[in-house]
Structure 1
Amino acid sequence: MEKRWNILQADPARVGDLQASLGINEVLCRLLIQRGIRTFDEARSFFRPTINDLHSPWLMKDMEKAVARIRQAFGAGEKILVYGDYDVDGTTAVACLFQFLRKCHPPEKVDFYIPHRYREGYGISRQGIDFARDNGFTLVVSLDCGIKSADLIQYADTMGIDFIVCDHHLPDLVLPPAVAILNPKQKDCPYPYKELCGCGVGFKLITALAQQLGFPEEEPLSYLDLVATAIAADIVSIDGENRVLAYYGLKKANETPNNGIRALTQLSGLQKQLKMTNLVFMIAPRVNAAGRMDDARKVVHLFTAPDLSEAMAYATQLHADNSDRKEADYNMTEEALALLEKDASHSARRSTVIYQPHWHKGVVGIVASRLIERYYRPTVVLTRSGEAGRR
């Protein structure tokens, strides 16, 4: 496959001006200019981010509505369900908001829901809404999902269940009938930074609630190691506000980590400081493995564990899930490669489509990535799910 590189060019005059103000090597100044950093103040924010660089959560469209509805639920003694996706971004977001709401509201009136990857699929599910109805929840806060679930949220509305949607995916033309939608990618949302992950949007909601309820300024910052984990795993841009959140999140992960982060780090045998690459390649695969191989609810239990011993028990389960995932990944990849090598016509094809009914549903996407690395072609890997094929 031919690769075409688009090399950004830096204006020599701007490079010279920046070098004069910073007094550092020209190559570094050229790289900064290529990243859109042109002034001394912008460079200082890049190299030395501060918490004060974070934007006010009240700039986000519907934040006042979301906070008002949650406070209404507090006052009326309603049951609140925190609903999130089964990946790293969703589970960390749920863990953050679930813990915070239990500090504000009777713990027995707050619960969480993570849909099962294979029984329910991604995002809001009818089963999840029925769970809310059957257990008396009248307010659902969705995290990292919901923006594309207009029909299902309408279904919830017919049963008297309100939704607050916290999401970062691109909205459709038709928005869900939620009481509030927090998503900086909405066309009419004035929030200055558009690249927050789902956990980042949840962090903004926690920050706004903490301000209104009179919590110390440090309260929202206690969740930053989980926010940084979501930023790393979701491969969002680490610039602007995400850079600030990642910087301070890594700092917390190394100094006073969440019990779940500490347990996973110990199990992984890391003897040095955590870096973003460790979150991507060490923490994230173990968290994602829970949803791929089993039930991602255990991830929320891990990140909300009150002590290290309980966190270690859940981390051990995730570690085992990840080992199973690696074994399935290796075996399926080897089998797929062997099948393709036996297919004489495959070398002349422009795409790869392969199917085996016994392959694990949670690993077919990873195997497809392995085949792309080998053949550099559009690839679909299928397995059997009930009476249908599944990719």
Structure 2
Amino acid sequence: MRWIVKEKPDPKKTEQLSKALGIDRTLSSILVQRGIDNFDKAKHFFRPSLEDLHDPFLMKDMDKAVQRIQQAIDLNENIMIYGDYDVDGTTAVSLVYDYLRTRYPYVATYIPDRYKEGYGISFAGIDFAEDNEINLIIALDCGIKALDKVQYANEKGIDFIICDHHRPGGQLPGAIAVLDPKRNDCSYPYDELCGCGIGFKLIQALGLVFGDTIEALSPYLDLVATAIAADIVPLTGENRILTYFGLKVINQAPRPGIAAIVQQIKKKPLDITDVVFIIAPRINAAGRMKHGSFAVELLTEDSFEKAQAQASSIEKYNTERKGLDKLITKEAIDQIKENKEEKAFSTVVFKDNWHKGVIGIVASRLIEQYYRPTLVFTKSGASLAASARSVKGFDVYNALNQCSDLIEQFGGHKYAAGLTLDPKNYISFKEKFEYVVQQTIPKELLERQIQIDSELFLSDINSKFHRILKQMGPFGPQHMKPVFMAGGLRDNGYGRRIGENEDHLKLSIVTGADQKTYNAIGFGLGDKYDLICQGKTFKAAFTIEENHWNGITSLQLNIKDLQEDS
């Protein structure tokens, strides 16, 4: 792992902020690094307010979207809320449906079948709308490239409002309104919202018309925070505000569906990491293993007792998903080894019976193993479908765009995408994708790296330091939990490998500066035991976290990497 130590910010600004806030210089240095370089910015950062959210009508076409929804309500038209089957899509559908049904009875939901219809807006979904006399479809987390589908709906007299956050193509669909901050002609101040975040801006705009305060909309933020965490969008700007308040809702007054999931895991309070690894996978499991509509039913259920039964069923789907994920990952690794592709610049694997619902997870697992842009294909009807994942710094969407002549359709982000192609093009695509990656990826991006925010003396770690560090959360992409570096460390002799396969390290660290012992855990670092044994000095890159054990809370170092002391 390559350690990259961030450049120290302006010392004058660091000193001024340290004095203004009464905090440690190391912490003020990290804040200045992140653009929080004066008291006013720090006030907004440490004390987020829903009032700091942008006016939703700054988003292109928001006025048209609101007017069309008002028209539908005035004319007693049927409205269908349509969304993708992943966490972002199902939470977005649940949010807009939940809000509209408090005002209007003629609202339905629709989640496409992952296996029969595939990603995004489908002809089958529009046919369903026609059969049920739907006049208006509000599409969430999808639709920005669905030109033919929207045209098909228009021909049937069905209007569309598109709420998407993916990159548009060269032409926008012919919808009544297209809400997407990534539109070239949209000057909305923040363009990193997820699909559910766009849905929230829509109900925020409707709320302004209907007379709702922003506080009245806060109960919907458990959904928004879950989507932000699951979709791995930057935790900056509006996303950070929405997540900050969303976590409060999750911990204090979650909707019955989320409360039922939380009850099963018996952990409180939950932080953003818990949302990513506990709540989101369970919501996702419905769409992966069965149907995304089960997730919407859970998230819009008013009865806690019914939600408990639904959450129990989804827990079974999640258990099944884990088993498939493990099996397919092993088969994919075996395929890579068999084809002698361990040293390629990309990973592209395929097996026709791999479960379509878990190939995205498998792609992420393969990146953990080989650390390079990865696509996992399976059979989907007459086509092949793939999930793509990328390594830090490499835009897999752009790489796919360079292979578009071999692809039927694709969409997504810099680090995650989906695509379909004709089976006869698989080998040609695999070869071209490998060539594109080989020609465009800087070699250093194929090596794992860790960003170090600051050096830190372990003796500087105390309860106040950690309390302020916690207040800098929630953490996520582009605002990661600070990583520190310290050298001259030794294990006191009690360090050992732990875990079923001795994959992890448990350490008790001392430094030359003092004789205090610092507890530490290093997940996945079992193979670095030789660095710390027999009294050797070493340096560590680490975060600081709370360890809860037998009712006792203590601070520990979460070691991300170890190196020989130089």
The alpha-carbon distance between structure 1 residues 215 and 15, as it changes in their structure 2 partners (threshold 3 A), is closer
Alignment pair present for 1:321 and 2:317? yes
Percent identity between the two aligned chains: 52
SS in 2 for 1:139: strand
Which residue number corresponds to residue 33 of structure 1?
A: 32
Structure 1 position 182 matched with structure 2 position 186? no
Partner of residue 555, structure 2: none
| 1:77 and 2:76 correspond | yes
User: 2:200 is paired with a residue of what secondary structure?
Assistant: helix
Which range is displaced more, 56-65 or 375-384? Answer: 375-384
Q: 2:266 aligns with which of 248, 266, 269?
A: 269
Q: Distance in 2 between matches of 1:260 and 1:213?
A: 27
What does residue range 53-72 of structure 1 map to in structure 2 within 5 Å?
53-72=52-71
Amino acid at match of 1:69: R
Task: State the TM-score, normalizing by the size of structure 2.
Answer: 0.65
Matches within 5 A, 1:1-391: 3=2, 5=4, 7-106=6-105, 109-215=106-212, 217-270=214-267, 272-341=268-337, 343=338, 345-347=340-342, 349-391=344-386
Q: Output the amino acid matched with 2:96.
A: L
Unmatched 5+ residue regions in structure 1?
none
Q: What secondary structure does 1:196 align onto?
A: coil
Give deviations 1:203-254, integer Å, cap 9, x for gaps.
Answer: 1111121221234553311201111111111111111111111111111111
Residue type matched to 2:365 in 1? R
Moved over 6 A (4+): none
Point out the structure with max Rg over C-alpha. 2
- Report SS of the residue matched to 1:138: strand
8 A contact 2:50–2:215 mirrored in 1? no
Which residue identity does 1:283 align to in structure 2?
I
Q: Deviations over 1:171-202 (max 9, x none)?
A: 22211111112222222223222211111111
Offset at 1:103?
A: 1.4
| Whole-angstrom CA distance in 2 between matches of 1:6 and 1:167 | 36
- Structure 1 distance, partners of 2:314, 2:73, is 34
Work out whether residues 83 and 112 of structure 2, in 8 Å CA contact, stay in contact via their aligned partners in 1: yes
Q: Call closer, same or farther: CA 1:386–1:115 in 2, change over 3 Å.
A: closer
Bigger shift: residues 44-53 or 8-17: 8-17
Classify the secondary structure of the residue corresponding to 2:108: strand
Distance in 2 of aligned mates of 1:365 and 1:100? 31
Residue 63 of structure 2 aligns with an amino acid whose one-letter code is E
After superposition, the C-alpha distances for 1:277-296 in whole angstroms (9 at most, x for unaligned) are 11100001111111111101
> Structure 2 stretches of 5 or more lacking a match?
387-566
In 1, are the aligned partners of 2:221 and 2:242 still within 8 Å (CA)? yes
- Greater RCO (Cα-Cα under 8 Å, separation 6 or more): 1
Query: Aligned in 2, Cα 1:382/1:61: closer, same or farther, shift over 3 Å?
Result: closer
More strand by share: 2
CA RMSD of aligned residues (A): 1.9
Q: Distance in 2 between matches of 1:91 and 1:364?
A: 19
Q: Specify which structure has the higher proportion of helix.
A: 1
- Distance, in Å, in 2 between the alignment partners of 1:355 and 1:217 is 48
1:345 positional shift: 3.2
Aligned-pair distance for 1:44? 1.1
CA spacing shift, 1:8–1:91, aligned 2, 3 Å: farther
Question: Higher mean Cα deviation, 127-136 or 379-388?
Answer: 379-388
